[in-house]
């Protein structure tokens, strides 16, 4: 028994690659590289607007002594990743490539965590920070393939491609916003003039935030500072937005708010619902326009069973709260959505 315990203990210390000793050795080797990579990333983010990085700024960002930051920058220059410019340094092309690879890894890992695991959003960053120094280029490419070559990370930031292309993403067309997504109006196309007038008449002005509520073949339903507007799809191309949070001025109802026997029409699934959970809801037929009724409450109160396309599906409160709905005002069998407070753009023009 004692012998067995001894063997286990020794194995724990000396086991190749997994043991304590190997861990200590690796940690020492890794911290050096991690520092350099963190510095490269910092230089990349700061350098995007053209400024150079001074040692004291780097020291602040990485929480190291200024002398250490100075030495780190010297090593970057020595390795050809950065060059001195005036009092600071700037990334070289080779350094920029390294930085893009790190950013790609970081964002892909975050996307994987958001899409394939149940990990909370607050935990993504730390895991990604660790993983970006660990994964090889092949592993990163495999991860990207497995995720279906995602274009954006869960925060909406673009993921650099394997060849190091980073699309400029601060502005997207309104058409790229899914129902439930919000943005800041950044650009309105002023040609042709009558389209521009229609946009203005609908209440779109630069700097206001909007949220897409629903979209069908002909029109997109927007909410702009609390007012619902229906915009013909033709006009969507004239609006560019920056992704930004929208603070609704009135309470948005969700499936969880329905009383038993009440029903409502789905507007959208909250973007916080991701990965397998989102696909499951979609596959069950929870898509914009689906009418859902709350049917049965379990003996403990949660979950509640809903009639979704004639199937009785139990959903937990948290899931139901992801599904934004427009409640039916009456309990009739009509499937027409309540459109009384929606103005059409045609009326506005």
Partner 1 sequence: MSPSTFRGQALAHDTELVQLSSRTERFDHLVALAGNPNTGKSTVFNALTGLRQHTGNWPGKTVTRAEGYFAAGGTRFKLVDLPGTYSLQAASDDEQVARDMLLFGRPDVTVVVLDATRLERNLNLALQVLAITPRVVVCLNLMDEARRHGIGVDPVALAQALGVPVIAASARSGEGIEAVREAVRAMAAGETITTPYRVPRFDDTTEATIATVEEAVLSAYPELPNSRWVALRLLNADDRVEAAVQNGELAALSAERLPAAQPTPVASAAMLEHGAVAVETGNDVLAVASAVRWQLATDFQDRITEGIYRSAEAIAASAQLAGVRRVRFDLDRTLDRWLTSRVTGFPIMVLLLGIVFWLTIAGANVPSAMLGTLLIEHGHAWISSLFVAAGAPDWLRGFLVDGVYLATAWVIAVMLPPMAIFFPLFTLLEDFGYLPRVAFNLDSMFRRVGAHGKQALTMCMGFGCNAAGVVATRVIDSPRERLVAIITNNFSLCNGRWPTQILLASVFVGALAPPALAGLVSASAVVGVTLVGVAAMFLASWLLTRTVLRGEATSFSLELPPYRPPRLWQTLYTSLVDRTLIVLWRAIVFAAPAGAVIWLISNVNIGDASIAEHLVGAFNPVGLLLGLNGVILLAYLVAIPANEIVIPTVLMLTVLTGAAPEAGAGAGVMFELDAAGVGTLLRDNGWSTLTAACLMLFSLLHNPCSTTIYTIYRETGSVRWTTLATLLPLVMGVVVCFLVAQIWRLLAGM
Rounded to the nearest whole angstrom, what is the least distance from the CB of residue 184 to partner 1 in the complex? Answer: 16
**Mask for 164-183, x = binds partner 1 (CB under 8 A):** ---x-------xxxxx-x--
Which DSSP string corresponds to 192-233?
SHHHHHHHHHTT--TT-EEEEEEE-SSEEEEEETTEEEEEEH
Rounded to the nearest whole angstrom, what is the least distance from the CB of residue 111 to partner 1 in the complex? Answer: 11
Give the residue with the Cβ less far from partner 1, 19 or 70: 19
**Mask for 80-119, x = binds partner 1 (CB under 8 A):** -----------------------------x--xx--xxxx
Under 8 Å CB-to-CB from 347, ≥6 apart: which residues?
Answer: none
Residue 7 engages partner 1 in binding (rule: CB under 8 A): no
- SS3 (DSSP) at 153: coil
Residue 197 engages partner 1 in binding (rule: CB under 8 A): no
Contact 302, 316 (CB under 8 A): yes
Distance CA(316)–CA(195), nearest Å, equals 44
Residue 160 engages partner 1 in binding (rule: CB under 8 A): no
Residue 241 engages partner 1 in binding (rule: CB under 8 A): no
Residue 279 engages partner 1 in binding (rule: CB under 8 A): yes
How does DSSP classify residue 289?
T
Residue 285 engages partner 1 in binding (rule: CB under 8 A): yes
Residue 260 engages partner 1 in binding (rule: CB under 8 A): no
Nearest CA to 294 out of 314, 278, 279 is that of 314
Interface with partner 1 in residues 41-70 (CB under 8 A): none
**Mask for 289-318, x = binds partner 1 (CB under 8 A):** xx-----xxxxxxxx-x--xxxxxxxxx--
Nearest CA to 254 out of 273, 239, 234, 270 is that of 270
Contact 295, 305 (CB under 8 A): yes
Residue 8 engages partner 1 in binding (rule: CB under 8 A): no
Taking CB under 8 A as the binding criterion, the range among 70-78, 131-139, 202-210, 221-229 that sits at the site for partner 1 is: 131-139
Which DSSP string corresponds to 271-285?
TTS-HHHHHHHHHTT
Rounded to the nearest whole angstrom, what is the least distance from the CB of residue 72 to partner 1 in the complex? Answer: 22
Buried b (16+ CB within 10 A) or exposed e, 155-193: eebbbbeeeeebeeeeebebebbebbbbbbbbebeeeee
Distance CA(199)–CA(93), nearest Å, equals 43
Residues that bind partner 1 (CB under 8 A): 1, 109, 112-113, 116-119, 123, 127, 130-131, 133-135, 139, 142-143, 145-146, 148-149, 151-152, 156, 167, 175-179, 181, 215, 217, 233, 269, 275-285, 287-290, 296-303, 305, 308-316, 319
């Amino acid at each position: 028994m004692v012998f067995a315990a001894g063997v286990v203990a020794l194995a724990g210390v000396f086991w190749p690659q997994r043991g304590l000793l190997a861990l200590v050795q690796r940690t020492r080797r890794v911290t050096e590289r991690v520092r350099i990579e963190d510095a490269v990333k910092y230089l990349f983010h700061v350098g995007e607007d053209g400024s150079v990085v001074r040692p004291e700024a780097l020291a602040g960002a990485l929480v190291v002594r200024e002398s250490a930051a100075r030495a780190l920058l010297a090593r970057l220059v020595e390795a050809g990743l950065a060059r001195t410019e005036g009092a600071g340094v700037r990334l070289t092309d080779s350094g920029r490539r390294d930085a893009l690879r790190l950013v790609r890894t970081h964002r892909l890992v975050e996307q994987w965590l958001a899409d394939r695991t149940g990990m909370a959003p607050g935990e993504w960053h730390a895991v990604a920070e660790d993983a970006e120094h660990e994964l090889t280029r092949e592993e990163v490419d495999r991860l990207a393939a497995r995720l279906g070559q995602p274009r954006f990370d869960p925060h909406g930031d673009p993921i650099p491609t394997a060849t190091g292309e980073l699309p400029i993403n601060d502005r997207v067309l309104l058409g790229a916003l899914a129902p439930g997504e919000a943005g800041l109006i950044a650009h309105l196309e002023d040609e042709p003039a009558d389209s521009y007038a229609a946009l203005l008449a609908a209440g779109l002005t630069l700097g206001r935030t909007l949220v897409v509520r629903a979209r069908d073949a002909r029109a997109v339903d927007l909410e702009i500072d609390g007012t619902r507007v229906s915009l013909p799809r033709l006009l969507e191309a004239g609006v560019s937005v920056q992704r930004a949070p929208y603070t609704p001025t009135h309470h948005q109802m969700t499936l969880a708010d329905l009383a038993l026997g009440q029903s409502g029409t789905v507007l959208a699934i909250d973007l916080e619902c991701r990965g397998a959970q989102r696909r499951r809801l979609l596959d069950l037929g929870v898509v914009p326009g689906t009418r859902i009724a709350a049917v049965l409450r379990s003996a403990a109160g949660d979950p509640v069973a809903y009639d979704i396309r004639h199937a009785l599906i139990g959903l937990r409160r948290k899931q139901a709260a992801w599904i934004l709905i427009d409640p039916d005002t009456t309990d009739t069998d009509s499937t027409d959505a309540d459109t009384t407070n929606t103005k059409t753009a045609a009326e506005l023009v």
